Structure 1
Amino acid sequence: MGFKTWYEANVMPRLITCACSQGQVMKRRAAVVPLARGDVFELGCGGGINHEFYDPAAITSYAGIDPHGGLLDATRAAAQAKGWAADLRQGKGEAIPFGDASFDCVVCTFTLCSVEDPVQVMRELRRILRPGGQALFLEHGRAPDTDVLRWQERIEPVWKRLAGGCHLTRPIASALQGSGFAVETLGEGYTPKTPRFAGWMEWGIARKAAA
Protein backbone atom coordinates (compact mmCIF):
# COMPACT_ATOMS: atom_id res chain seq x y z
CA MET A 1 0.00 0.00 0.00
CA GLY A 2 1.46 3.34 -1.07
CA PHE A 3 1.47 6.41 1.16
CA LYS A 4 -1.28 8.13 -0.86
CA THR A 5 -3.60 5.13 -0.55
CA TRP A 6 -2.83 4.74 3.15
CA TYR A 7 -3.37 8.46 3.79
CA GLU A 8 -6.71 8.55 1.97
CA ALA A 9 -7.94 5.42 3.73
CA ASN A 10 -6.76 6.12 7.28
CA VAL A 11 -5.83 9.76 7.86
CA MET A 12 -7.86 11.96 5.53
CA PRO A 13 -11.35 10.76 6.64
CA ARG A 14 -10.46 11.38 10.29
CA LEU A 15 -9.10 14.85 9.53
CA ILE A 16 -12.23 15.81 7.62
CA THR A 17 -14.51 14.43 10.34
CA CYS A 18 -12.63 16.41 12.97
CA ALA A 19 -12.72 19.64 10.94
CA CYS A 20 -16.41 19.23 10.14
CA SER A 21 -17.40 18.73 13.77
CA GLN A 22 -15.88 21.87 15.29
CA GLY A 23 -18.07 24.06 17.49
CA GLN A 24 -18.93 26.80 14.97
CA VAL A 25 -19.63 24.22 12.28
CA MET A 26 -21.93 22.29 14.61
CA LYS A 27 -23.89 25.49 15.26
CA ARG A 28 -24.51 25.76 11.54
CA ARG A 29 -25.61 22.12 11.37
CA ALA A 30 -28.05 22.76 14.23
CA ALA A 31 -29.72 25.43 12.09
CA VAL A 32 -30.21 23.18 9.06
CA VAL A 33 -30.50 19.48 9.88
CA PRO A 34 -33.57 19.68 12.19
CA LEU A 35 -35.58 20.93 9.19
CA ALA A 36 -35.47 17.45 7.62
CA ARG A 37 -38.88 15.79 7.22
CA GLY A 38 -40.37 12.61 5.79
CA ASP A 39 -38.26 10.11 3.87
CA VAL A 40 -34.75 11.53 4.20
CA PHE A 41 -31.61 10.88 2.17
CA GLU A 42 -28.22 12.17 3.33
CA LEU A 43 -25.45 12.66 0.78
CA GLY A 44 -22.03 12.12 2.35
CA CYS A 45 -23.41 10.69 5.57
CA GLY A 46 -20.14 9.12 6.73
CA GLY A 47 -19.28 9.70 10.37
CA GLY A 48 -22.89 10.24 11.46
CA ILE A 49 -22.13 13.81 12.55
CA ASN A 50 -25.60 15.10 11.69
CA HIS A 51 -27.53 12.48 13.64
CA GLU A 52 -27.68 14.40 16.90
CA PHE A 53 -29.63 17.14 15.11
CA TYR A 54 -32.31 15.09 13.36
CA ASP A 55 -35.81 15.20 14.83
CA PRO A 56 -36.86 11.51 15.03
CA ALA A 57 -40.53 12.46 15.26
CA ALA A 58 -40.29 14.15 11.85
CA ILE A 59 -38.40 11.38 10.02
CA THR A 60 -40.30 8.56 8.31
CA SER A 61 -37.21 6.79 6.97
CA TYR A 62 -33.49 7.50 6.67
CA ALA A 63 -31.01 6.49 3.98
CA GLY A 64 -27.59 7.70 2.92
CA ILE A 65 -24.41 7.08 1.01
CA ASP A 66 -20.73 7.84 1.50
CA PRO A 67 -17.69 6.86 -0.58
CA HIS A 68 -15.71 5.88 2.54
CA GLY A 69 -16.82 2.50 3.81
CA GLY A 70 -15.06 2.89 7.15
CA LEU A 71 -16.96 6.06 7.98
CA LEU A 72 -20.26 4.31 7.38
CA ASP A 73 -19.66 2.16 10.46
CA ALA A 74 -19.89 5.29 12.62
CA THR A 75 -23.05 6.30 10.79
CA ARG A 76 -24.63 2.92 11.42
CA ALA A 77 -23.80 3.23 15.12
CA ALA A 78 -25.33 6.71 15.25
CA ALA A 79 -28.47 5.51 13.49
CA GLN A 80 -28.76 2.56 15.85
CA ALA A 81 -28.45 4.88 18.84
CA LYS A 82 -31.29 6.92 17.34
CA GLY A 83 -33.42 3.79 17.05
CA TRP A 84 -33.60 4.01 13.25
CA ALA A 85 -33.52 1.27 10.66
CA ALA A 86 -31.20 3.05 8.23
CA ASP A 87 -30.43 2.08 4.64
CA LEU A 88 -26.75 3.05 4.32
CA ARG A 89 -24.68 2.24 1.25
CA GLN A 90 -21.20 2.93 0.00
CA GLY A 91 -21.39 5.05 -3.12
CA LYS A 92 -20.89 8.39 -4.83
CA GLY A 93 -23.26 11.25 -5.53
CA GLU A 94 -22.75 11.00 -9.28
CA ALA A 95 -24.66 7.70 -9.28
CA ILE A 96 -26.98 7.55 -6.26
CA PRO A 97 -28.20 3.93 -5.84
CA PHE A 98 -31.85 4.79 -5.16
CA GLY A 99 -34.82 5.09 -7.47
CA ASP A 100 -36.47 8.17 -8.94
CA ALA A 101 -38.64 10.24 -6.58
CA SER A 102 -37.69 8.14 -3.54
CA PHE A 103 -37.30 10.92 -0.98
CA ASP A 104 -39.03 13.97 0.44
CA CYS A 105 -35.81 15.54 1.67
CA VAL A 106 -32.10 15.49 0.92
CA VAL A 107 -29.52 16.62 3.48
CA CYS A 108 -26.18 17.74 2.07
CA THR A 109 -23.55 19.17 4.43
CA PHE A 110 -19.93 19.85 3.46
CA THR A 111 -20.13 17.41 0.57
CA LEU A 112 -20.56 19.31 -2.71
CA CYS A 113 -17.05 20.73 -2.30
CA SER A 114 -15.47 17.31 -2.81
CA VAL A 115 -17.61 15.51 -5.39
CA GLU A 116 -16.01 14.89 -8.77
CA ASP A 117 -18.88 16.23 -10.90
CA PRO A 118 -21.12 18.68 -9.00
CA VAL A 119 -23.47 19.21 -11.95
CA GLN A 120 -24.16 15.48 -12.20
CA VAL A 121 -24.59 15.21 -8.42
CA MET A 122 -27.20 17.98 -8.41
CA ARG A 123 -28.94 16.25 -11.30
CA GLU A 124 -29.04 13.08 -9.20
CA LEU A 125 -30.42 14.95 -6.20
CA ARG A 126 -33.26 16.29 -8.32
CA ARG A 127 -33.89 12.80 -9.66
CA ILE A 128 -34.31 11.13 -6.27
CA LEU A 129 -36.44 13.93 -4.83
CA ARG A 130 -40.20 13.81 -5.12
CA PRO A 131 -42.03 16.77 -6.69
CA GLY A 132 -42.05 19.55 -4.13
CA GLY A 133 -39.18 17.92 -2.21
CA GLN A 134 -36.33 19.90 -0.75
CA ALA A 135 -32.57 19.70 -0.38
CA LEU A 136 -31.18 21.17 2.83
CA PHE A 137 -27.66 22.40 2.25
CA LEU A 138 -24.77 23.66 4.36
CA GLU A 139 -21.59 24.11 2.37
CA HIS A 140 -18.35 26.05 2.34
CA GLY A 141 -17.11 27.45 -0.94
CA ARG A 142 -16.33 30.40 -3.15
CA ALA A 143 -15.90 33.59 -1.14
CA PRO A 144 -17.55 36.80 -2.41
CA ASP A 145 -14.52 38.97 -1.58
CA THR A 146 -11.86 39.27 -4.26
CA ASP A 147 -8.90 39.22 -1.90
CA VAL A 148 -10.13 36.04 -0.18
CA LEU A 149 -10.93 34.40 -3.51
CA ARG A 150 -7.37 35.02 -4.70
CA TRP A 151 -6.06 33.12 -1.69
CA GLN A 152 -8.56 30.34 -2.28
CA GLU A 153 -7.32 29.96 -5.85
CA ARG A 154 -3.69 29.86 -4.70
CA ILE A 155 -4.26 27.34 -1.92
CA GLU A 156 -6.80 25.07 -3.63
CA PRO A 157 -4.37 22.84 -5.63
CA VAL A 158 -2.57 21.73 -2.46
CA TRP A 159 -5.74 21.77 -0.35
CA LYS A 160 -7.47 19.30 -2.68
CA ARG A 161 -4.68 16.76 -2.28
CA LEU A 162 -4.73 16.98 1.51
CA ALA A 163 -8.49 17.16 2.01
CA GLY A 164 -9.95 14.43 -0.15
CA GLY A 165 -10.57 16.48 -3.27
CA CYS A 166 -12.20 19.37 -1.38
CA HIS A 167 -12.50 22.52 -3.52
CA LEU A 168 -12.37 25.98 -1.99
CA THR A 169 -13.72 27.92 -4.97
CA ARG A 170 -16.96 26.14 -5.88
CA PRO A 171 -20.09 28.31 -5.85
CA ILE A 172 -22.93 27.10 -3.64
CA ALA A 173 -26.42 28.63 -3.85
CA SER A 174 -25.88 29.89 -7.40
CA ALA A 175 -24.85 26.40 -8.53
CA LEU A 176 -28.01 24.90 -7.05
CA GLN A 177 -30.10 27.56 -8.76
CA GLY A 178 -28.35 26.79 -12.04
CA SER A 179 -29.30 23.13 -11.61
CA GLY A 180 -33.02 23.85 -11.45
CA PHE A 181 -33.63 24.34 -7.74
CA ALA A 182 -35.47 27.26 -6.20
CA VAL A 183 -33.10 28.36 -3.44
CA GLU A 184 -34.03 30.01 -0.17
CA THR A 185 -30.83 31.14 1.54
CA LEU A 186 -31.15 30.92 5.32
CA GLY A 187 -27.71 32.31 6.07
CA GLU A 188 -24.25 33.03 4.75
CA GLY A 189 -20.99 34.43 6.04
CA TYR A 190 -17.48 33.72 7.24
CA THR A 191 -17.22 31.26 10.10
CA PRO A 192 -15.72 32.74 13.27
CA LYS A 193 -12.29 31.44 14.31
CA THR A 194 -11.73 29.93 10.87
CA PRO A 195 -9.25 31.10 8.19
CA ARG A 196 -11.26 33.16 5.73
CA PHE A 197 -10.06 31.17 2.72
CA ALA A 198 -11.83 28.10 4.20
CA GLY A 199 -14.53 29.85 6.17
CA TRP A 200 -17.14 31.15 3.73
CA MET A 201 -20.38 29.21 4.24
CA GLU A 202 -23.88 29.28 2.82
CA TRP A 203 -26.87 27.32 4.10
CA GLY A 204 -30.50 27.07 3.13
CA ILE A 205 -33.25 25.15 1.34
CA ALA A 206 -33.19 24.18 -2.34
CA ARG A 207 -36.65 23.15 -3.49
CA LYS A 208 -37.50 20.97 -6.44
CA ALA A 209 -40.33 22.43 -8.46
CA ALA A 210 -43.55 20.44 -8.38
CA ALA A 211 -44.43 18.66 -11.61
Structure 2
Amino acid sequence: MALPKLLRRFSVLIDLSHAFKVALWPTIKRIFHEPSLLFHPQTLSYIFMSHVWTFFAPYIDEHSAAEKAKVITPYAHGVVLDVGAGHGHNIKYLDSARVTKYVALEPNVLMHPEIRRAAGAAGLNEADGNLIILACGAEDTASILTSLEGYQPVDTIVSTLTLCSVPEPQRTIKSLVSDVLKPGGELLFFEHVQNPHPHVARWQRFWSPLWSKAFDGCRLDRPTHVWVQEIGGWEKEEVWGQDGESEDLLFLHRSGRFVKSA
Protein backbone atom coordinates (compact mmCIF):
# COMPACT_ATOMS: atom_id res chain seq x y z
CA MET A 1 0.00 0.00 0.00
CA ALA A 2 2.84 2.40 0.81
CA LEU A 3 4.48 2.11 -2.61
CA PRO A 4 1.49 3.29 -4.69
CA LYS A 5 1.04 6.25 -2.34
CA LEU A 6 4.70 7.15 -2.67
CA LEU A 7 4.54 6.88 -6.43
CA ARG A 8 1.53 9.22 -6.47
CA ARG A 9 3.65 11.83 -4.69
CA PHE A 10 5.98 11.83 -7.70
CA SER A 11 3.24 11.85 -10.34
CA VAL A 12 3.89 15.53 -11.00
CA LEU A 13 7.13 14.53 -12.71
CA ILE A 14 5.11 13.04 -15.56
CA ASP A 15 3.32 16.33 -16.21
CA LEU A 16 6.56 18.28 -15.81
CA SER A 17 8.27 16.06 -18.37
CA HIS A 18 5.43 16.62 -20.83
CA ALA A 19 5.58 20.37 -20.24
CA PHE A 20 9.28 20.58 -20.99
CA LYS A 21 8.97 18.20 -23.92
CA VAL A 22 6.37 20.33 -25.72
CA ALA A 23 7.53 23.81 -24.69
CA LEU A 24 11.28 23.90 -24.09
CA TRP A 25 12.49 23.60 -27.68
CA PRO A 26 10.01 26.15 -29.15
CA THR A 27 11.02 28.56 -26.38
CA ILE A 28 14.72 28.05 -27.10
CA LYS A 29 14.08 28.73 -30.80
CA ARG A 30 12.38 32.02 -29.90
CA ILE A 31 15.40 32.98 -27.81
CA PHE A 32 17.69 32.11 -30.72
CA HIS A 33 15.76 34.52 -32.97
CA GLU A 34 15.27 37.12 -30.21
CA PRO A 35 18.22 36.96 -27.77
CA SER A 36 16.89 40.01 -25.92
CA LEU A 37 14.20 37.75 -24.47
CA LEU A 38 16.80 36.53 -22.00
CA PHE A 39 16.38 39.88 -20.25
CA HIS A 40 12.59 39.50 -20.08
CA PRO A 41 11.85 36.45 -17.91
CA GLN A 42 8.11 37.15 -17.70
CA THR A 43 7.81 37.18 -21.49
CA LEU A 44 9.77 33.94 -21.66
CA SER A 45 7.41 32.43 -19.12
CA TYR A 46 4.43 33.46 -21.26
CA ILE A 47 6.01 31.92 -24.36
CA PHE A 48 6.75 28.68 -22.53
CA MET A 49 3.28 28.57 -20.98
CA SER A 50 1.54 29.22 -24.30
CA HIS A 51 3.01 25.97 -25.64
CA VAL A 52 2.32 24.12 -22.40
CA TRP A 53 -1.31 25.23 -22.38
CA THR A 54 -1.86 24.27 -26.01
CA PHE A 55 -0.91 20.73 -25.02
CA PHE A 56 -2.62 20.50 -21.62
CA ALA A 57 -5.76 22.66 -21.96
CA PRO A 58 -7.96 20.33 -24.06
CA TYR A 59 -7.22 17.40 -21.74
CA ILE A 60 -7.84 19.43 -18.58
CA ASP A 61 -11.06 20.90 -19.93
CA GLU A 62 -12.35 17.48 -20.97
CA HIS A 63 -11.74 16.03 -17.51
CA SER A 64 -13.26 19.00 -15.69
CA ALA A 65 -16.23 19.50 -18.03
CA ALA A 66 -18.86 18.04 -15.69
CA GLU A 67 -17.70 20.16 -12.77
CA LYS A 68 -17.47 23.32 -14.88
CA ALA A 69 -21.00 22.76 -16.14
CA LYS A 70 -22.16 22.38 -12.55
CA VAL A 71 -20.38 25.54 -11.37
CA ILE A 72 -20.70 27.91 -14.32
CA THR A 73 -23.75 27.12 -16.44
CA PRO A 74 -26.58 27.55 -13.89
CA TYR A 75 -25.15 30.61 -12.15
CA ALA A 76 -23.00 32.78 -14.45
CA HIS A 77 -25.09 35.74 -15.59
CA GLY A 78 -24.93 39.32 -16.78
CA VAL A 79 -21.41 40.67 -17.22
CA VAL A 80 -19.03 37.76 -16.60
CA LEU A 81 -15.37 38.28 -15.75
CA ASP A 82 -13.34 35.14 -16.47
CA VAL A 83 -10.13 35.39 -14.43
CA GLY A 84 -7.27 33.70 -16.25
CA ALA A 85 -9.30 32.89 -19.35
CA GLY A 86 -6.53 30.89 -21.00
CA HIS A 87 -7.86 29.74 -24.39
CA GLY A 88 -11.46 30.63 -23.56
CA HIS A 89 -12.56 27.09 -22.76
CA ASN A 90 -15.07 28.38 -20.20
CA ILE A 91 -17.08 30.15 -22.88
CA LYS A 92 -18.90 27.01 -23.95
CA TYR A 93 -20.24 26.57 -20.41
CA LEU A 94 -21.96 29.97 -20.40
CA ASP A 95 -25.72 30.17 -20.91
CA SER A 96 -25.99 32.71 -23.74
CA ALA A 97 -29.53 33.59 -22.70
CA ARG A 98 -28.29 34.83 -19.32
CA VAL A 99 -24.89 36.34 -20.16
CA THR A 100 -24.74 39.83 -21.69
CA LYS A 101 -20.97 40.32 -21.87
CA TYR A 102 -17.92 38.11 -21.52
CA VAL A 103 -14.76 39.73 -20.16
CA ALA A 104 -11.69 37.55 -20.61
CA LEU A 105 -8.88 38.49 -18.23
CA GLU A 106 -5.70 36.93 -19.59
CA PRO A 107 -2.29 38.57 -19.06
CA ASN A 108 -0.63 36.24 -21.58
CA VAL A 109 -1.40 37.93 -24.91
CA LEU A 110 -0.25 34.80 -26.76
CA MET A 111 -3.50 33.21 -25.57
CA HIS A 112 -5.74 35.96 -26.98
CA PRO A 113 -6.17 34.58 -30.53
CA GLU A 114 -7.62 31.37 -29.08
CA ILE A 115 -9.98 33.36 -26.85
CA ARG A 116 -11.27 35.26 -29.90
CA ARG A 117 -11.74 32.00 -31.78
CA ALA A 118 -13.73 30.40 -28.96
CA ALA A 119 -15.74 33.56 -28.40
CA GLY A 120 -16.52 33.93 -32.09
CA ALA A 121 -17.86 30.39 -32.20
CA ALA A 122 -20.27 31.39 -29.41
CA GLY A 123 -21.37 34.59 -31.15
CA LEU A 124 -19.25 36.90 -29.00
CA ASN A 125 -16.97 39.51 -30.53
CA GLU A 126 -15.41 42.84 -29.68
CA ALA A 127 -17.15 44.69 -32.52
CA ASP A 128 -20.56 43.95 -31.03
CA GLY A 129 -19.40 44.93 -27.56
CA ASN A 130 -20.22 41.60 -25.90
CA LEU A 131 -16.56 40.55 -25.71
CA ILE A 132 -13.72 42.32 -23.93
CA ILE A 133 -10.21 40.85 -23.68
CA LEU A 134 -7.92 42.34 -21.05
CA ALA A 135 -4.17 41.77 -20.79
CA CYS A 136 -3.77 43.07 -17.25
CA GLY A 137 -3.40 40.91 -14.17
CA ALA A 138 -6.17 40.06 -11.74
CA GLU A 139 -4.53 42.29 -9.15
CA ASP A 140 -4.97 45.37 -11.39
CA THR A 141 -8.59 46.06 -10.44
CA ALA A 142 -8.36 49.70 -11.50
CA SER A 143 -7.60 48.73 -15.12
CA ILE A 144 -10.34 46.09 -15.06
CA LEU A 145 -12.97 48.60 -13.95
CA THR A 146 -11.77 51.25 -16.42
CA SER A 147 -12.12 48.78 -19.30
CA LEU A 148 -15.66 47.87 -18.25
CA GLU A 149 -16.93 51.43 -18.73
CA GLY A 150 -20.63 51.53 -17.86
CA TYR A 151 -20.68 47.87 -16.82
CA GLN A 152 -18.80 48.27 -13.58
CA PRO A 153 -18.86 46.36 -11.40
CA VAL A 154 -19.52 42.88 -12.81
CA ASP A 155 -22.33 40.43 -12.07
CA THR A 156 -20.20 37.28 -12.04
CA ILE A 157 -16.56 36.41 -11.51
CA VAL A 158 -15.47 32.99 -12.75
CA SER A 159 -12.15 31.35 -11.92
CA THR A 160 -11.20 27.86 -13.03
CA LEU A 161 -7.71 26.62 -12.13
CA THR A 162 -6.42 30.20 -12.00
CA LEU A 163 -6.26 31.45 -8.42
CA CYS A 164 -3.42 28.98 -7.91
CA SER A 165 -1.16 31.30 -9.89
CA VAL A 166 -2.26 34.91 -9.30
CA PRO A 167 0.22 37.10 -7.41
CA GLU A 168 -0.55 37.99 -3.79
CA PRO A 169 -3.60 35.70 -3.93
CA GLN A 170 -5.36 36.70 -0.71
CA ARG A 171 -5.06 40.38 -1.46
CA THR A 172 -6.02 39.87 -5.11
CA ILE A 173 -9.11 37.78 -4.33
CA LYS A 174 -10.28 40.31 -1.74
CA SER A 175 -9.79 43.23 -4.16
CA LEU A 176 -11.69 41.47 -6.94
CA VAL A 177 -14.61 40.79 -4.63
CA SER A 178 -14.70 44.22 -2.97
CA ASP A 179 -13.94 46.39 -6.04
CA VAL A 180 -15.04 44.46 -9.13
CA LEU A 181 -17.97 42.27 -8.03
CA LYS A 182 -21.26 44.07 -7.53
CA PRO A 183 -23.45 43.55 -4.43
CA GLY A 184 -25.54 40.46 -5.06
CA GLY A 185 -22.99 39.25 -7.62
CA GLU A 186 -21.53 35.76 -7.65
CA LEU A 187 -18.01 34.38 -7.39
CA LEU A 188 -17.80 30.93 -9.00
CA PHE A 189 -14.66 28.82 -8.87
CA PHE A 190 -13.20 25.42 -9.60
CA GLU A 191 -9.65 25.19 -8.26
CA HIS A 192 -7.06 22.71 -7.10
CA VAL A 193 -6.31 23.49 -3.47
CA GLN A 194 -4.14 22.65 -0.51
CA ASN A 195 -4.88 19.16 0.73
CA PRO A 196 -6.27 19.08 4.30
CA HIS A 197 -4.10 16.05 5.13
CA PRO A 198 -0.75 17.37 6.43
CA HIS A 199 1.33 14.57 4.89
CA VAL A 200 -0.05 15.37 1.40
CA ALA A 201 0.22 19.12 1.94
CA ARG A 202 3.91 18.68 2.72
CA TRP A 203 4.43 17.12 -0.71
CA GLN A 204 2.45 19.95 -2.31
CA ARG A 205 4.77 22.46 -0.68
CA PHE A 206 7.78 20.40 -1.77
CA TRP A 207 6.82 20.37 -5.45
CA SER A 208 5.37 23.89 -5.73
CA PRO A 209 8.66 25.79 -6.34
CA LEU A 210 9.54 23.58 -9.31
CA TRP A 211 5.96 23.29 -10.57
CA SER A 212 5.48 27.07 -10.49
CA LYS A 213 8.49 27.59 -12.74
CA ALA A 214 7.04 25.37 -15.46
CA PHE A 215 3.42 26.46 -15.08
CA ASP A 216 3.66 30.26 -14.87
CA GLY A 217 3.48 30.67 -11.10
CA CYS A 218 0.96 27.92 -10.36
CA ARG A 219 1.26 26.51 -6.83
CA LEU A 220 -0.17 23.27 -5.51
CA ASP A 221 -0.48 24.40 -1.89
CA ARG A 222 -2.99 27.27 -1.84
CA PRO A 223 -6.14 26.88 0.31
CA THR A 224 -8.06 29.08 -2.10
CA HIS A 225 -11.52 28.02 -0.94
CA VAL A 226 -10.61 28.93 2.64
CA TRP A 227 -9.31 32.35 1.62
CA VAL A 228 -12.54 33.08 -0.24
CA GLN A 229 -14.59 32.17 2.82
CA GLU A 230 -12.41 34.35 5.03
CA ILE A 231 -13.25 37.48 3.01
CA GLY A 232 -16.67 37.52 4.67
CA GLY A 233 -19.69 39.51 3.63
CA TRP A 234 -21.27 36.59 1.82
CA GLU A 235 -25.02 36.15 1.54
CA LYS A 236 -24.60 32.56 0.39
CA GLU A 237 -21.63 30.17 0.58
CA GLU A 238 -21.23 26.77 -1.01
CA VAL A 239 -18.05 24.68 -1.30
CA TRP A 240 -17.93 21.09 -2.51
CA GLY A 241 -15.48 18.46 -3.74
CA GLN A 242 -15.35 16.90 -7.16
CA ASP A 243 -17.49 13.76 -7.54
CA GLY A 244 -15.52 10.56 -7.23
CA GLU A 245 -12.24 12.27 -6.41
CA SER A 246 -9.98 10.73 -3.78
CA GLU A 247 -9.02 13.00 -0.89
CA ASP A 248 -5.45 11.67 -1.03
CA LEU A 249 -4.32 13.68 -4.07
CA LEU A 250 -1.70 16.30 -4.80
CA PHE A 251 -4.26 17.95 -7.08
CA LEU A 252 -7.31 18.03 -4.87
CA HIS A 253 -10.18 20.12 -6.26
CA ARG A 254 -12.80 22.30 -4.67
CA SER A 255 -15.66 24.13 -6.34
CA GLY A 256 -17.56 27.03 -4.89
CA ARG A 257 -20.41 29.44 -5.33
CA PHE A 258 -20.35 32.59 -3.21
CA VAL A 259 -22.98 35.33 -3.42
CA LYS A 260 -21.91 38.77 -2.26
CA SER A 261 -24.23 40.44 0.22
CA ALA A 262 -26.43 43.12 -1.35
Q: 1:7–1:106: structure 2 CA closer, same or farther, 3 Å change rule?
A: same
Residue in structure 2 matched with residue 196 of structure 1 by the alignment: 249
Counterpart amino acid of residue 225 in structure 2:
A
Moved over 4 A (4+): 3-7, 189-193
Question: 1:29 is matched with which residue: 62, 68, 87?
Answer: 68
**Contact 1:106–1:136 (CA under 8 A) maintained in structure 2:** yes
- The answer to whether the Cα contact below 8 Å between 1:122 and 1:176 also exists between their aligned partners in 2 is yes
How many residues get paired?
208
Unaligned runs of 5+ in 2: 1-36, 125-129, 147-151
Contact 1:103–1:128 (CA under 8 A) maintained in structure 2? yes
C-alpha displacement of 1:82 = 0.8
CA distance in 2: counterparts of 1:71 and 1:191, whole angstroms: 32
What residue is the counterpart of 2:210 in the other structure? 158
1:1-211 pair list within 5 angstroms? 1-2=37-38, 7-16=44-53, 18-21=55-58, 22=60, 23-34=62-73, 35-84=75-124, 85-96=130-141, 97-99=143-145, 101-126=152-177, 127-182=179-234, 184-189=237-242, 196-197=249-250, 199-210=251-262
Point out the more displaced range, 12-21 or 138-147: 12-21
CA shift, 1:180, in A, is 2.6
Q: Is the 8 A contact 1:20 1:110 kept in 2?
A: no
* SS of residue in 2 equivalent to 1:139: strand
The answer as to whether partners of 1:44 and 1:108 remain within 8 angstroms in 2 is: yes
Shift of 1:151: 0.9
Contact 1:113 1:139 in 2 (8 A): yes
| Percent identity of paired positions between Structure 1 and Structure 2 | 28
Give SS of 1:98's match. Answer: helix
SS at match of 2:100: strand
Say whether the 8 Å CA contact 1:190–1:196 is kept in structure 2.
no
Superposition RMSD in Å: 2.4
Structure 1: tracts of 5 or more residues without a match: none
Q: What does the per-residue CA deviation read over 1:81-100, in whole Å, with 9 as the maximum and x for residues that have no partner?
A: 11123011101011132339
**Rounded Cα–Cα distance in structure 2 between residues aligned with 1:163 and 1:190:** 26
Show CA shifts across 1:130-162 (max 9, x none): 111111011111011122111111111111111
Greater strand proportion: 1
| Larger Rg computed on CA atoms | 2
| More displaced stretch, 13-22 vs 31-40 | 13-22
What TM-score, normalized by structure 2, do the two folds share? 0.72
Residue 27 of structure 1 deviates from its aligned partner by: 2.5
Residue identity matched to 1:43: V
Select the structure that is richer in helix: 2
Work out the CA distance in 1 between the residues paired with 2:79 and 2:43.
36
